[in-house]
Structure 1
Amino acid sequence: MKLVIFAVCVAATLASYLATRALFMRFRQPLLNPVFLSTLVIIAALKATGATLADYQPAKEAMTFLLGPATVALALPLYNNRQVLKSQALPVLAGVLSGSLATIAAVLWAGWVAGFARGILISLGPKSVTVPIAVEIARLSGGEPPLTAAFVVATGMIGSILGPALLTALRVKDPVARGLALGTVSHGQGTAVALLEGETAGAMGGVAMALAAVFTALVAPYYLPLLLP
């Protein structure tokens, strides 16, 4: 019985993602973002069938395990676009590093204006890098790792939904710039949306995601205290 539930959950998740991805590719509307919309579909399906999160957990863990191979697979579009990266290596590096610093400063300023406590601000600071790195930064800096994990997921979701539309509104058309922006600010989810725009944007998103994670891990423990009140 458990195997049947597992198979149904995996199949339902895959079907919902493929369906919502097809909708997104056809209409290109931000709220049709595949990750966002397929999540809503799965939540609705679980509630409608009376299934619990515990029932879905084994399938979630199996699919989450595939994030590792999927991340490694980003090497292929990067290899195919290696000449682009070589020719623009300095602007790429400068953009990612300055973007990483700017997004931390911007969110801390917004949190300070909103009156957030110091612990919440620390937890919010590393929200633009992948969860394992962000929660460790929060732990070392005195923040709350579970809260940081929630901020990271929310950042990826919001950035992947609104990021492409915002870049288009700002007339940013270059796939290199779009991929770098999405990968720097919205980590894996931003990179996934960049891949939907094209191989070059996806490759640059992968580069930005990796560089931003390494750079933030190195500087955040020293940079955060400088910005906090």
Structure 2
Amino acid sequence: MNLLFSASLILLTLGAYLATRRIFLAYRHPLLNPVFLSTVVIISLMKLTGYSWDDYQPAKEVMTFLLGPATVALALPLYHNRSLLRRHAPTVLAGVAAGSLTTMAAALVAGRLFSLGDTLLLSLGPKSVTVPIAVEISRLCGGEAPLTAAFVVATGMLGSILGPGALSLLRVKHPMARGLALGTVSHGQGTAVALMESETAGAMSGVAMALAAVFTALVAPYYLPLFLR
């Protein structure tokens, strides 16, 4: 019965995502972002039916496990755009490094302005890289892993909702530039949105997500303390 219930929750999640994705592709409104909208749909249905997060947990574990193969699958659009990446490799590396440093600094400066404590700042710093790496960076620097995970998810959600519109407002049109920006700032969720824009944007976002994670892991232990009291 538990296995059947978990399977039904996985199908519910998949159905909610596919339905909201169709809505997003039809209207292209930022607030109709499929990750955001499907999350709202699932939480609402769970509340209406009286189920809790603990009931959803087994299904979540299965879907989280599949993130690994899904991430590996990003190699396909990257392979198709390998010549573009080779031509612009120095620019890509410089852009991701600058973007990673800037997004950490912006979050930490904002945190200082709002008088956040050092533990919160250290938890907030690695918010723009994928959860497993961000959590380890946070632990290494003295932050709180659960807070970091929450900040990472919130960053990905906001970046995937607001990022494409902000880039359009700034007249950033090239798919390579859009993909690099979304992947650097909004990790996996930004990459999902970039893939819906074009294969090139998705490939560059996947590269940026990986490079930003490695770069942040290397520099964060020395960079984040610079913003503490």
Q: Tell me the TM-score normalized by structure 2.
A: 0.98
Which residue does the alignment assign to 2:151?
151
Q: Which moved more, 1:127-136 or 1:48-57?
A: 48-57
CA distance in 2, matches of 1:202, 1:116: 35
Give the letter aligned to residue 146 of structure 1: P
Where 1:115 maps in the other structure, the secondary structure is coil
State the alpha-carbon separation in 2 of the partners of residues 124 and 216 from structure 1.
13
Alignment correspondent of 1:163: 163
Instruction: Give the fraction of aligned pairs with identical amino acids, expressed as a percent.
Output: 71
Instruction: Quote the residue 2:68 is aligned against.
Output: 68
Please name the residue that 1:35 is paired with: 35
| Aligned residue number for residue 187 of structure 1 | 187
- CA–CA distance in structure 1, aligned partners of residues 146 and 55 of structure 2: 22
- Match in the other structure for 1:92: 92
1:112 — aligned with what?
112
Within 2, Cα distance between the matches of 1:13 and 1:220?
Answer: 35
1:169 CA displacement: 0.6
SS of alignment partner, residue 109 of structure 1: helix
For residue 227 of structure 1, report the CA deviation from its aligned partner: 2.6
CA distance in 2, matches of 1:98, 1:27: 33
| Cα distance in structure 2, aligned partners of 1:52 and 1:106 | 35
Deviation at 1:4, TM superposition (A): 2.2
Structure 2 partner of 1:54: 54
Question: What residue is the counterpart of 2:130 in the other structure?
Answer: 130
Deviations 1:3-54 (A, max 9, x none): 2211210111111000000001111000000110000000011111112222
Partners in 1 of 2:104 and 2:4 — Cα distance? 44
Task: Please state whether the residue corresponding to 1:116 is helix, strand or coil.
Answer: coil
> SS in structure 2 opposite 1:57?
helix
CA shift, 1:78, in A, is 0.1
Give the partner amino acid of 1:138.
S
The size of the alignment, in residue pairs, is 229
- For structure 2, the 5+ residue unaligned runs are none
Q: What TM-score, normalized by structure 1, do the two folds share?
A: 0.98
